[in-house]
């Protein structure tokens, strides 16, 4: 870190702000020299954006519950959030206090978040899979006086952690949809901890004393008053005062990082960060109030929060909740919701896309022979057409090569029905984010006429840094920098550096890490190694902190090697390359398990021909000697090594872990990234044996 880093670029306190970086080096908000010109995005707060949407689209549906029937208009949504803000003020929550939220995607979650923002607090999401220790750390670090939590497993973990959280004054528990027994459970929680408050009691706490049923929620500026017969009460006046004193440069919410290399850090996002990214997405994708989306990714993740909470209140489209089981192994909740909603865009992590592909491939294998032939023909001609478009690398690929009659016939006979069955027939853009997407998965969807656009982003950048778009796409890259972002490569380390209005304020209560993450001239250090080509397309090649230096002095990026291993060994869910300071590379392999065993029937047959069902594969993974997988693993290593970029990048040995890595076991972050230090320590003896023998 340069010694002269200026604190104007960052803050570690929500009470301090920095200037809004309105323009790029040329004085305008631009994207690679074209696009927006001087039409800059005006700064505004999230509450202002929310009210603007209510004024324009107040009677349009904002939220639709997982049953597909219950819905809330934007006016009702705003009124519920305003009432939640009143209740938070009534409970003594001050401006810039942190409000924790833990649970699956649902109406109470988003109302709690936006109610917190309206009250001037900083909402901070916790993953519903977070351990008790992680809950305790985040709530302690944030000094949160209030936490909202879903009844059930989430509430149990928070209640266990609450014994170590003296600053926590209120634990608001909301009932799960369809669980009639949750009311009794919440009453039992209150017997255990007097700080527990039901969702209904929380809402009553801030209810106005007036009985006038015609009362309307005021705007942030207070221009729409309560009924004329009654002046604003003290809670109303305080909420309006906080709205009037909120500036676009103020901190708005916290996104806790996944903690791959240590404890989670709280990235502070400003109102302007959020407003800028929402407006950027609206202009880039031409999103409007008629669009539909499906909410299923955890709202504690920056991408999901921008898509399902901040984006809708700034644009006015409709969000449909998929339900808590959407990401559970073997569940068809997500596909069922997609079929019902037919959203206009869909964002998935690579594992979601892989599971979709695996499910379709299983269906294809079981189809009658004529259907298999027709499907194979349709995919073959479509893949060829899509690959020709990619090779042309035109700015407007759909105009570069008109589809042949065979491609059009393939769509009308086969692929149109596939798109509808997936629930993606209305999608204008399909995005893969959070991790690199394997080329075989990308090619499979290309064969269906569905181009998956890679998006590279960070919590510290309010989500997007670079994205491939349908009209600006380069296969194998993460796309171009988003509008207004300035990117460059550090000439000494190869690290990607970013600057722009979407870059965060800093890490809460962490001045050292905040100062270290910025350069002297205000660029954010992403921690990612990258290459930028002549046309501005960015390729991520690895993580700076994960770079391995072998005993021979060779620098090796593990991520591409791990991706190759997982591609060549589809029975493996996670691969981790080892070799820092060692004479050659080895790896740890975690086998698929649980609901994923359905994908392994063909792979397992290579280990034991008697394994013909998913249940048998699950038992085999759990009970067969790991040596039974030796020949299979060796074939995969050979295939991956055949494409290695150098001799130093070849993996010489592998160790199959005795149990699958999981979030609950502490080996994966909530975003399913490897906790490398944990695995290195846990399997140190096994690693040493690969280098030094038995």
Same-fold call for 46-207+230-314 versus 327-504+516-543: yes
Per-residue model confidence as pLDDT tens digits over 302-314: 999 999 999 999 9
pLDDT at 193: 92
What is the signed CA dihedral for 377, 380, 383, 388, rounded to 10 degrees?
-110
What is the signed CA dihedral for 490, 492, 493, 495, rounded to 10 degrees?
0
Domain residue ranges in the chain = 46-207+230-314, 327-504+516-543, 548-692
Res. 596 pLDDT band, cuts 50 70 90:
very low
Distance CA 314, CA 306 (A): 10
Q: What does CATH list as the number for 548-692?
A: 3.30.300.30
Q: Which two tokens stand for residue 173?
A: 């528990």
Q: Is the pLDDT of residue 609 over 70?
A: no
Those residues with Cβ within 8 angstroms of residue 365's Cβ, 6 or more apart along the chain or in another chain: 372
Average pLDDT, the chain: 85
| Pairing between β-strand 480-481 and β-strand 486-489 as defined by DSSP bridges | unpaired
pTM: 0.83
Determine the distance from the C-alpha atom of residue 594 to the mean position of all C-alpha atoms in its chain, rounded to a whole number. Answer: 23
Distance CA 254, CA 275 (A): 15
pLDDT at 211: 45
pLDDT at 307: 96
Per-residue model confidence as pLDDT tens digits over 477-520: 999 999 999 999 999 999 999 999 999 999 999 999 999 999 99
Place of tokens 């559970």: 328
Least trusted range by pLDDT, from 17-21, 47-51, 435-439, 513-517? 17-21
Q: Which two tokens stand for residue 494?
A: 């190869």
Q: Is the pLDDT of residue 611 over 50?
A: no
User: What DSSP designation does 646 have?
Assistant: S
pLDDT at 15: 60
The CATH number corresponding to 327-504+516-543 among 3.40.50.12780, 1.20.120.420, 3.90.1150.10, 3.10.450.40 equals 3.40.50.12780
For the chain, give percent helix, strand, coil, nearest 5.
Answer: 40, 20, 40
Res. 327 pLDDT band, cuts 50 70 90:
confident
pLDDT at 213: 36
Q: Is the dihedral of CA 211, 216, 219, 223 positive or negative?
A: negative
Res. 2 pLDDT band, cuts 50 70 90:
very low
Report for 226-230, 447-451, 561-565, 675-679: range of highest mean pLDDT: 447-451
pLDDT at 447: 95
First to last CA, the chain: 43
| Percent residues over pLDDT 70 in the chain | 84
Place of tokens 């037919």: 342
Q: 186 or 619, which is more confident?
A: 186
Per-residue model confidence as pLDDT tens digits over 210-227: 543 344 455 544 434 333
Q: Is the pLDDT of residue 38 over 70?
A: no
Question: Can you tell me the mean pLDDT for 123-139?
Answer: 92
Q: 336 or 2, which is more confident?
A: 336
Question: Can you tell me the mean pLDDT for 411-440?
Answer: 91
Distance CA 482, CA 532 (A): 14
Helices and strands counted in the chain (H then E): 25, 26
pLDDT at 275: 96
Question: Can you tell me the mean pLDDT for 84-103?
Answer: 97
Report for 466-475, 479-488, 550-559: range of highest mean pLDDT: 479-488
Q: CA 389 → CA 30, 409, 471, distances in Å?
A: 27, 18, 11
pLDDT at 471: 81
Per-residue model confidence as pLDDT tens digits over 231-246: 678 999 999 999 999 9
Nearest Cα residue to 75 out of 226, 228, 216: 216
472: helix, coil or strand?
strand
pLDDT at 20: 61
Give strand pairing partners of 13: none
CATH number 3.40.50.980 is the correct assignment for the domain at 46-207+230-314: yes
| Pairing between β-strand 452-458 and β-strand 429-433 as defined by DSSP bridges | parallel
Specify the length of the chain in residues. 694
Q: Which two tokens stand for residue 686?
A: 């096994």
pLDDT at 628: 60
Helix ranges restricted to H, 401-504: 405-410, 416-422, 439-447
Question: Can you tell me the mean pLDDT for 282-291?
Answer: 94
Per-residue model confidence as pLDDT tens digits over 359-409: 888 888 888 999 999 999 999 999 999 888 887 754 454 555 678 889 999
Q: Is the pLDDT of residue 24 over 80?
A: no
Least trusted range by pLDDT, from 86-95, 197-206, 612-621? 612-621
Q: Is the pLDDT of residue 324 over 50?
A: yes
């Amino acid at each position: 870190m340069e010694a002269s880093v200026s604190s104007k670029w960052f803050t570690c306190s929500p009470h301090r702000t920095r200037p809004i970086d309105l323009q790029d080096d040329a004085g305008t908000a631009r994207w690679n020299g074209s696009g927006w010109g001087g039409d800059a995005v005006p700064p505004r707060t999230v509450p202002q954006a929310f009210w603007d949407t209510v004024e324009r689209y107040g009677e349009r549906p904002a939220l639709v519950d997982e049953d597909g029937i219950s819905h809330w208009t934007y006016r009702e949504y705003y009124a519920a959030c305003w009432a939640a803000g009143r209740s938070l003020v009534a409970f003594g929550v001050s401006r810039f206090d942190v409000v924790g939220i833990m649970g699956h995607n649902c109406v109470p979650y988003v109302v709690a978040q936006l109610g917190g923002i309206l009250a001037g607090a900083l909402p901070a999401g916790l993953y519903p899979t977070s351990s008790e220790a992680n809950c305790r750390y985040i709530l302690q670090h944030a000094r949160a006086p209030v936490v909202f939590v879903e009844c059930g497993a989430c509430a149990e973990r928070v209640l266990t952690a609450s014994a170590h959280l003296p600053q926590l004054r209120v634990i608001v528990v909301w009932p799960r949809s369809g669980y009639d027994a949750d009311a009794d459970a919440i009453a039992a929680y209150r017997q255990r901890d007097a700080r527990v408050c039901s969702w209904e009691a929380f809402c009553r706490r801030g209810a106005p004393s007036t009985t006038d049923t015609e009362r309307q929620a005021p705007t942030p500026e207070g221009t729409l008053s309560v009924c004329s017969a009654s002046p604003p009460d003290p809670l109303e006046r305080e909420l309006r005062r906080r709205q009037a004193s909120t500036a676009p440069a103020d901190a708005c919410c916290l996104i806790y990082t996944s903690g791959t290399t240590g404890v989670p850090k709280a990235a502070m996002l400003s109102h302007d960060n959020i407003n800028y990214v929402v407006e950027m997405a609206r202009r880039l994708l031409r999103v409007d109030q008629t669009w539909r989306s499906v909410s299923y990714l955890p709202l504690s993740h920056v991408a999901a929060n921008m898509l399902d909470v901040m984006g809708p209140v700034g644009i006015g489209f409709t969000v449909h909740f998929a339900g808590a089981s959407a990401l559970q192994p073997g569940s068809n909740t997500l596909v069922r919701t997609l079929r019902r909603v037919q959203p206009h865009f869909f964002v998935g992590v690579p594992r979601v896309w892989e599971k979709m592909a695996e499910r379709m491939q299983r269906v294809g294998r079981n189809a009658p022979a004529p259907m298999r032939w027709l499907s194979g023909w349709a995919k073959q001609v479509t893949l060829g057409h899509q690959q020709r478009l990619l090779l042309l690398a035109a700015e407007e690929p759909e105009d570069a090569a008109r589809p042949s009659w065979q491609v059009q016939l393939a769509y009308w006979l086969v692929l149109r029905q596939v798109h509808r069955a997936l629930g993606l027939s209305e999608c204008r853009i399909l995005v893969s984010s959070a991790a690199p997407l394997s080329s075989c998965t990308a090619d499979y969807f290309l064969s269906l006429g569905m181009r998956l656009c890679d998006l590279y982003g960070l919590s510290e950048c309010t989500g997007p840094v670079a994205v491939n778009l349908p009209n600006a796409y380069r296969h194998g890259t993460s796309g171009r920098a988003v509008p207004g972002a300035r990117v460059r490569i550090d000439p000494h380390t190869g690290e990607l550096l970013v600057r722009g209005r979407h870059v965060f304020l800093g890490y809460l209560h962490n001045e050292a890490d905040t100062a270290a993450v910025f350069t002297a001239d205000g660029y954010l250090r992403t921690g990612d190694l990258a290459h930028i080509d002549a046309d501005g397309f960015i390729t991520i090649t690895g993580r700076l902190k994960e770079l391995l230096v072998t005993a021979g002095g060779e620098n090796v990026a593990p991520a591409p090697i791990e991706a190759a291993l997982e591609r060549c060994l589809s029975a493996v869910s996670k691969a981790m390359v080892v070799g820092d300071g060692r004479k050659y590379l080895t790896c740890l392999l975690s086998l698929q398990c649980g609901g994923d065993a359905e994908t392994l029937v063909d792979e397992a047959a290579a280990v034991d021909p008697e394994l013909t069902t998913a249940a048998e594969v699950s038992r085999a993974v759990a009970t067969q000697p790991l040596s039974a997988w030796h020949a299979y693993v060796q074939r995969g290593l050979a295939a991956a090594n055949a494409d290695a970029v150098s001799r130093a990048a070849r993996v010489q040995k592998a160790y199959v872990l005795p149990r699958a890595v999981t979030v609950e076991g502490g080996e994966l972050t909530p975003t399913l990234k490897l906790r490398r230090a944990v695995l290195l320590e846990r399997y140190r003896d096994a690693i040493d044996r690969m280098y030094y023998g038995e």
